[in-house]
Amino acid sequence: MSQLEHTVAAEQAGLRIDKLLSDIQEDVSRSQAQSWIKDDLVTVNGTKVKNKYTVQEGDVIAWTIPEPEEMKIEAEDIPLEIIYEDADIAVVNKPRGMVVHPSNGHQSGTMVHALLYHLKDLSGINGTMRPGIVHRIDKDTSGLLVVAKHDKAHQKLTDMLKDHDIERKYRAIVHGVIDHEFGTIEAPIGRDPNDRQKMAVVENGKPAVTHFEVLERFEDFTYVECKLETGRTHQIRVHMQYIGYPLAGDPKYGPRRTLDIDGQALHAAVLGFHHPITGEWLHFEAPVPQVFQEELDKLQFNA
């Protein structure tokens, strides 16, 4: 079993304990957090609590994650937007709110469950829990992912990711007004030494590079396009917070609910790469989801 601890920050005060746990540990659903609380696996300041407990600034939350149960992943008839498919790969436009692959907190309803229903074959390099998954994006990040149908394609795509040969561009709404048109953030990312559920810019982290371009400015926000050179966990979210422009709606790295959007305003809009088998250059674009566009429209209307 794994034991974790978190100290409640000022902006997290007032949340229910189950909501907090699901916010700070993205692969855990609120129902899973409630189950842990019911099983006495969660304490606040050393005392067991109920699901309805409202956390206060400075509370020390400690919880024990039970060993994951062996899961048999079955195909589920879940709608999935597959924008490209051939014998070797598929490209999917993942919706907001969908977890990419199963975990102890998400045993159904993931993109993998949907892929098993819609696609005949998936690569097995990443094991039974992550068939076909070459790279991932966070639950509340929407957008484009490439999926491998067999191991040869998977390995080639993995090599391209390592060599930075896959074009990945994201659209994001960030807090604050960025006064320059372009920028590059080169800062290493690793586990936050003060909160193991978060990533941070740390001296001994892995190299990480994000390029950004301003698309539009508003009174208190900026609409940007971010291009990944590397692909660290939460890279855009961490890097934009690091330079003082955290993503709007981000429950982990930004102020709470400043726009009417549940989760970070981040969308994987562009994906380009050479086909792992034929070598043909493929380029895909996906518009931001409706809830993202609605917030963008409001900002443009009030500008």
For the ranges 60-69, 169-178, 212-221, 246-255, the lowest mean pLDDT is seen at 60-69
* Per-residue exposure over 257-283, b if at least 16 CB sit within 10 Å of its own CB, e if not: ebbebebbbbbbbbbebebbeeeeebe
Q: How far apart are CA 15 and CA 20, in angstroms?
A: 6
Evaluate if residue 71 carries a pLDDT over 60. no
Residues 84-99 have a mean pLDDT of 95
Sign, CA torsion 96/52/66/5: positive
pLDDT band at residue 69 using 50, 70 and 90 as cut-offs: low
Distances (CA, A) of 32 to 57, 106, 180, 240: 23, 8, 43, 30
Q: Which residues pair with 227 in a beta bridge?
A: 169, 211
DSSP H stretches of helix in 101-201: 111-118, 151-162
Question: 120 or 245: whose pLDDT is higher?
Answer: 245
pLDDT band at residue 89 using 50, 70 and 90 as cut-offs: very high
Please, what are the domains in the chain? 2-65 (3.10.290.10), 81-302 (3.30.2350.10)
Question: 4 or 202: whose pLDDT is higher?
Answer: 202
List the one residue out of 20, 28, 26 whose CA is nearest residue 56: 20
Q: Any idea which residues carry the catalytic annotation? A: 138
pLDDT, averaged across the chain: 90
Query: According to the 3-state scheme, what is the secondary structure of 248-273?
Result: CCCCCCCCCCCCCCCCCCEEEEEEEE
pLDDT in tens, 266-291: 999 999 999 999 999 999 999 999 99
Give me the pLDDT at residue 294, please. Answer: 95
3-state helix, strand, coil in the chain (%, to 5): 20, 35, 45
List the one residue out of 73, 66, 91 whose CA is nearest residue 127: 73
Q: How far apart are CA 251 and CA 249, in angstroms?
A: 6
Give me the pLDDT at residue 258, please. Answer: 79
Q: Which residues contact 287 (CB under 8 A, 6 or more apart)?
A: 269, 293
Q: pTM for this one? A: 0.76
pLDDT band at residue 31 using 50, 70 and 90 as cut-offs: confident
Give me the pLDDT at residue 243, please. Answer: 97
Distances (CA, A) of 203 to 188, 235, 238: 7, 15, 14
DSSP three-state, residue 3: strand
Count Cα atoms within 13 angstroms, Cβ side, for 166.
Answer: 21
